[in-house]
Structure 1
């Protein structure tokens, strides 16, 4: 399953919407995503599983790159 991860690069700062970034990660569940990204020291705001329609929409973006566990 593909997950969209919304995060801030500075882990000890209050999240600001304008600085929110996203990445796409392939994993079996949300816990695996959090575990795999723990060493990057990101301030993860939200992890969203993408259904087929949403995934198709996101794939149209030129910034769409899926990372694997």
Structure 2
């Protein structure tokens, strides 16, 4: 499954919507996706969203869709 992870680059900053970034990740579950990001980055995870169906197709066509691998 493909997940879109919304995050702040550092955990010690106060989250601001304007500074939120995202990455795309393939994982078996949301829990595993969170574990991968926490283990391999210093990011402060805000939200993890499952992408499927039309939403996934839209992201592939209209966003900077690059799967992150750890």
Q: TM-score, normalised by structure 1?
A: 0.90
Name the counterpart of 1:59.
60
Q: How many correspondences in the alignment?
A: 69
Displaced runs of 4 or more, over 2 A = none
Aligned alpha-carbon RMSD (Å): 1.3
What's the CA shift for 1:40? 0.4
Name the counterpart of 2:50.
49
The 3-state SS of whatever aligns with 1:60 is: helix
Alpha-carbon deviations, 1:16-56, whole Å to 9, x = none? 01100000000010111111111301000000001211000
Name the counterpart of 1:19.
19
Q: TM-score, normalised by structure 2?
A: 0.89
